[in-house]
Amino acid sequence: MNKKIEGVLTAIVTPFDNDGALNPQALATQVKRQVTAGNGVFCGGTNGEFFVLNEREKLIVTETCVSAVAGDAPVVAHIGEISTRETIRLGKQIEKLGVNAVSAITPWFVPLTQQELIDHYHAVADALSVPLFLYNIPARTGNKLEPETVKTLAEHPNIIGIKDSAGSFESLSGFLQATKENPNFMVLNGPDSLIHKGFVEGCAACISGLANVAPQEIHAIWARFHAGDIAGSATAQESVTGLRTDLYKVAFSPAAVKEALRLMGHDVGHSRYAVSFSEAQQETIRKIIHQYLN
């Protein structure tokens, strides 16, 4: 299980039906679409709308992804909850489902010291048999993992990497530098705008929300880089960056990604949280899809 995870992991959306209920069949279809493109799966994260899923739904999402992947690609499941106790509780259930690893954002709402974050992650890593990725997304949680903190946490045998979604190369670079003497520690890039640069600088993989919309195009950044075509990888990144910039001008992820998928004819439903799209916004998204993906 604890083998190196590399390439593209798609931060898979969680499809809902017309009544807003979980739609596992549609999820399996989306997962298989990603595997066909050469991508792995990161489930139950921000793009998976974990914040509006109950515990049972999170387990069904993970089970569905593992089953649909059928061993052909890695599956990483997000288990982060607001307390250490609940993160461990969910993690102990998720680890039985056959995932390659789990990931946990920092606790949120209440500000924590770096030592408290270390204590939290040590407790989670100690309690689980499945490998753990840290997950830094301070704009959403209010708690930021510092590079020195991650360097300390990287020494734990069951903490195998970090997903950084802070949104800047400065942040990504800080983690790469802090853990460079630990060759088994994987830094995973979160922002779709930094996929190519992340690979060039030493990221093992990217976790991409935009890959839901453009699975082949995102995979091309990795495939070309992996084949030694650095210039080709950079060119593949340029088109993706334009798609990301234009789409996220309409609305932020995950709602924008899900609406784009829906308008492309995929049965993923609407987001559960309070967001809606006007006819003008939908038409803008259609034009963006046509410009970048046709």
* Catalytic annotation, residues: 135, 163
For helices 24-36 and 55-69, give the axis angle rounded to 10 degrees. 40
Spatial separation of the C-alpha atoms in residues 100 and 283, rounded to whole Å: 39
Q: E strands, 44-191, where? A: 75-78, 101-105, 132-136, 159-164, 186-189
Nearest to 1 by CA among 95, 104, 127, 122: 95
CA angle in degrees (0–180, nearest 5) for 42-1-145? 50
Tokens of 47: 């793009």
* CB of 191 closer than 8 Å to CB of 163: no
Spatial separation of the C-alpha atoms in residues 260 and 76, rounded to whole Å: 24
* CB of 133 closer than 8 Å to CB of 76: yes
